C-alpha cells in the first residue's frame, strides 16, 4: 500500500498543522471578515430598531390617529342684523362709497390702496348726507378740507374688517357641480353653510346684466382663512391669511378653466360690491 503525503519540506520554524495559505492572501481574508462583521452588526441594529418601533406603536390603549376628511369646527359667523343703506355712489375708474344709516361709510378708491376702507360720520355728518347737503360722492372725491369740519367722527379711514365672507364661484356657477375640484375638508365646510346672496351689482352699468349669486356659502373669517390655506395647499408661496379690506380668489377647476372660487367680504348690508370699474 502506498501512502502519499505533502512532499513540501517544512521549515524548522513552521509548526506542523499550520495553514498553508499564501501570505499575500492573508490581508484580503482579514478585510473580508471585517466586512462580514460590519454587515452582521448593521442587520442586528435594524432588527433591534424594528422591534422597538413595533413595541412603541403597539402599546396597549394607544392608537394612531385615523385620517379624516371632516372639516374642523369653527365658531359661527357674526351675522347680526343687516344695516340699511342711506346713500351710495360709484364713479367708474375711480371708486365707490356706501353710507349706512348708523353712520358707517364703506368705500373703495382705486387710485389709493384699492382696499375696502371704513370710516364713520358724526350725527351731523349723517344728517348732511341724508338731507343732500353733502353728496355721498363728495366723501371720496373731494378733499377733506372741502367738507364741514364736523363731518367725520374719526380722523382717517381704516381697512374694513369683515365679520363674514361669501364663498362663491366667479363667474357664478353651481357650487355642488365643482366640489370635486376642492379639497375634501373644504367641500365639507362649504356644504355646511350654504347661503344665497342678492344685490351684489349695486353699481352695475346699464349695459351689464345683473348677476345674482344664488349658490354660495357664508363663512366666518377663520373658516375663510382655512379655505384659502387648504386650496393653496403649498402650490403658491405660502398663505398668510386674507388681508383686511381685500377679497381673495383662486382658480379651481379642470385645465384651461378660468373659473375661480372667491371669498368676498360681506359688507354691513349683507352682501358685497362686485366692482368692475
pLDDT, tens digit, 9 for 90 and up, residues 202-225 = 776 544 555 666 789 999 999 999
Q: Give the pLDDT score at 89.
A: 92
Residue 55 has pLDDT above 80, yes or no: no
> What is the rounded average pLDDT of the residues 145-164?
94
Q: Over 50: is that where the pLDDT of 66 sits? A: no
Flag whether pLDDT at 104 surpasses 70.
Answer: yes
Residue 52: what pLDDT? 34
Q: Determine the straight-line distance between the first and last CA of the chain, rounded to whole angstroms.
A: 120
Q: Is the pLDDT of residue 227 over 50?
A: yes
The pLDDT value recorded for residue 82 is 83
Question: What CA–CA distance (Å, rounded) separates 162 from 274?
Answer: 15
Signed CA dihedral, 25, 26, 27, 30: sign only:
positive
The mean pLDDT of 180-193, rounded to a whole number, is: 90
**DSSP classification of residue 113:** T
Determine the average pLDDT of the residues in 111-137: 94
pLDDT of residue 136: 95
Mean pLDDT, residues 117-138 taken together = 96
Residue 182 has pLDDT above 60, yes or no: yes
pLDDT number for residue 159? 96
Lowest average pLDDT, out of 20-24, 99-103, 183-187, 222-226, goes to 20-24
pLDDT of residue 239: 66
Nearest residue to 109 (alpha-carbon basis) of 89, 134, 125, 129: 89
230 pLDDT more than 80? yes
Query: Given this model, what pLDDT does residue 253 score?
Result: 81
- Per-residue pLDDT, 64: 27
The answer to whether residues 10 and 16 touch, using CB atoms and an 8 Å cutoff, is: yes
pLDDT digits (tens, 9 = 90+) for 247-256: 999 888 888 8
Calculate the average pLDDT of the chain.
74
Q: What is the pLDDT of residue 51?
A: 34
Higher pLDDT among residues 36 and 216, named by residue:
216
Q: Domain map of the chain by residue range?
A: 85-159, 165-265
Q: What average pLDDT does the segment 96-115 reach?
A: 92
Higher pLDDT, 198 or 267: 267
Please give the distance of CA 11 from its chain centroid, rounded to a whole number.
86
Q: Is 256 left (phi over 0), alpha (psi -120 to 50) or beta?
A: left
Query: What value does the mean pLDDT take over residues 29-45?
Result: 52
Amino acid at each position: 500500500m502506498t501512502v502519499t503525503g505533502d512532499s513540501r519540506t517544512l521549515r524548522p520554524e513552521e509548526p506542523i498543522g499550520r495553514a498553508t495559505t499564501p501570505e499575500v492572501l492573508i490581508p484580503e481574508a482579514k478585510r473580508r471578515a471585517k466586512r462580514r462583521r460590519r454587515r452582521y452588526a448593521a442587520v442586528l441594529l435594524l432588527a433591534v430598531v424594528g422591534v422597538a418601533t413595533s413595541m412603541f406603536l403597539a402599546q396597549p390603549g394607544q392608537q394612531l390617529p385615523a385620517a379624516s376628511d371632516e372639516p374642523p369646527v369653527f365658531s359661527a359667523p357674526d351675522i347680526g342684523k343687516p344695516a340699511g343703506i342711506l346713500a351710495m355712489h360709484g364713479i367708474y375708474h375711480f371708486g365707490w362709497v356706501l353710507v349706512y344709516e348708523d353712520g358707517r361709510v364703506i368705500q373703495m378708491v382705486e387710485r389709493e390702496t384699492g382696499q375696502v376702507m371704513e370710516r364713520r360720520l358724526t350725527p351731523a355728518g349723517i344728517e348732511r348726507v341724508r338731507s343732500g347737503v353733502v353728496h355721498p360722492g363728495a366723501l371720496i372725491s373731494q378733499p377733506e378740507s372741502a367738507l364741514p369740519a364736523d363731518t367725520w367722527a374719526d380722523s382717517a379711514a381704516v381697512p374694513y374688517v369683515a365679520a363674514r365672507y361669501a364663498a362663491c364661484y366667479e363667474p357664478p356657477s353651481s357650487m355642488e357641480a365643482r366640489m370635486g375640484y376642492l379639497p375634501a375638508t373644504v367641500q365639507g365646510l362649504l356644504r355646511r353653510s350654504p347661503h344665497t346672496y342678492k344685490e351684489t351689482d349695486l353699481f352695475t352699468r346699464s349695459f351689464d346684466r345683473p348677476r345674482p349669486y344664488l349658490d354660495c356659502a357664508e363663512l366666518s373669517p377663520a373658516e375663510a382663512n382655512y379655505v384659502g390655506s387648504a386650496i393653496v395647499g403649498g402650490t403658491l408661496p405660502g398663505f398668510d391669511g386674507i388681508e383686511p379690506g381685500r377679497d381673495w380668489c383662486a382658480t379651481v377647476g379642470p385645465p384651461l378653466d378660468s373659473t375661480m372660487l372667491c371669498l368676498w367680504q360681506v359688507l354691513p348690508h349683507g352682501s358685497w360690491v362686485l366692482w368692475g370699474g
